[in-house]
């Protein structure tokens, strides 16, 4: 016995037309007055040298650091001078884990100094940088940078993130303060550029670069990256020292695929540096040129 084929349901022409109209409106929604579009992947990023949780008077207060970071409402932030069981100056705290817990953020810690415990059976004493993020951090790495003779080891921390389908890499570094002419910082940042160029991904780099924009090494900083402050900041952007800042040595840099929107230096006093905070737009995941 042969079954009769099912009769197709009648087309809902009016409903289809409404759906098509809604789709057209959603894909062609106009940009807001500030130029942003609802489909933009806009995030807030920042750099903050936290001076092992102590202010300019060397008063330790990690809760105050956490409160200042919370006030910035960042998606991702790179911290420099972060202690992990280092010593009495920071109460032997794991500052990266403590801050991540207080702020409810994912974190990657990068130890550039790694010393034996103060007492047998205790944790290793570490000092370095941290990435904190509201988004999941993946493939966390730390690459040692060329070491300056007589100086301490520095490194490039990095982690991959995906924000609404847009993939990028976040980098965090702290270059040497030694070397009057900047050759050492140039050498360190040449190594950074080599890593970033080889990744093939859009990237944001933040850090205490220990050099001002009028320094010879600034051209190395901006040979692959754009300086977000010069594109989106207002004023001098000085970040050191908080009570009477007179130089810009802390940066947010971005590869050309990433568009700067705003940049500011919040007035907070929990460290011996001021942070720099920026809004940027990531490439749309459908952009073939990403």
Report CA 134 to chain centroid distance, whole Å. Answer: 11
Segments making up each domain of the chain, as ranges: 41-282
Q: Are 45 and 204 a contacting pair, CB within 8 Å?
A: yes
CA dihedral (99, 105, 108, 109) in degrees, to 10, reads: 0
Return d(Cα 14, Cα 34) in angstroms, integer. Answer: 36
Contact 117, 107 (CB under 8 A): no
Q: At 277, phi and psi to the nearest 5? A: -125, 140
Residues in CB range of 16: below 8 A, 6 or more apart: none
Give the CATH architecture of domain 41-282. Answer: 4-Layer Sandwich (3.60)
Q: What pLDDT sits at residue 180?
A: 72
- CA dist 15 and 97 (Å) reads 53
Q: State the pTM of this model.
A: 0.87
For residue 34, the model assigns a pLDDT of 58
The ranges of the chain with pLDDT < 50 are 1-29, 288-290
Predicted pLDDT at 178:
85
Identify the pLDDT of residue 118. Answer: 87
């Amino acid at each position: 016995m042969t079954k009769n084929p099912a009769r197709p349901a009648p087309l809902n022409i009016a409903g289809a037309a409404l759906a098509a109209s809604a789709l057209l409106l959603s894909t062609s929604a106009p940009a807001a007055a500030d130029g942003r579009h609802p489909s933009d992947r806009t995030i807030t990023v920042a750099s903050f040298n936290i001076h092992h949780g102590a202010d300019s008077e060397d008063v330790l207060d990690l809760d105050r650091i956490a409160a200042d970071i919370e006030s910035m409402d960042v998606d991702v932030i790179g911290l420099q001078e972060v202690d992990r069981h280092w010593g009495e100056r920071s109460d032997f705290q794991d500052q990266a884990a403590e801050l991540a817990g207080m702020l409810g953020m994912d974190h990657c810690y990068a130890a550039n100094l790694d010393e034996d415990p103060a007492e047998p059976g205790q944790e290793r004493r570490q000092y370095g940088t941290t990435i904190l993020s509201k988004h999941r951090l993946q493939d966390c790495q730390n690459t040692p940078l060329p070491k300056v003779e007589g100086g301490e080891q520095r490194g490039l921390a990095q982690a991959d993130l995906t924000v609404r389908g847009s993939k990028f890499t976040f980098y965090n570094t702290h270059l040497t303060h030694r070397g009057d002419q900047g050759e050492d910082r140039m050498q360190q940042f040449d190594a950074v550029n080599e890593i970033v160029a080889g990744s093939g991904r859009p990237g944001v780099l933040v850090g205490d670069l220990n050099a001002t924009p009028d320094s010879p090494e600034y051209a190395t900083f901006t040979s692959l990256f754009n300086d977000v402050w010069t594109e989106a900041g207002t004023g001098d952007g000085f970040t050191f020292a908080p009570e009477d800042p007179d130089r810009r040595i802390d940066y947010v840099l971005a590869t050309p695929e990433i568009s700067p929107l705003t940049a500011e230096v919040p007035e907070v006093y929990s460290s011996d540096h001021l942070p720099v905070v920026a809004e940027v737009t990531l490439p749309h995941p459908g952009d073939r040129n990403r």
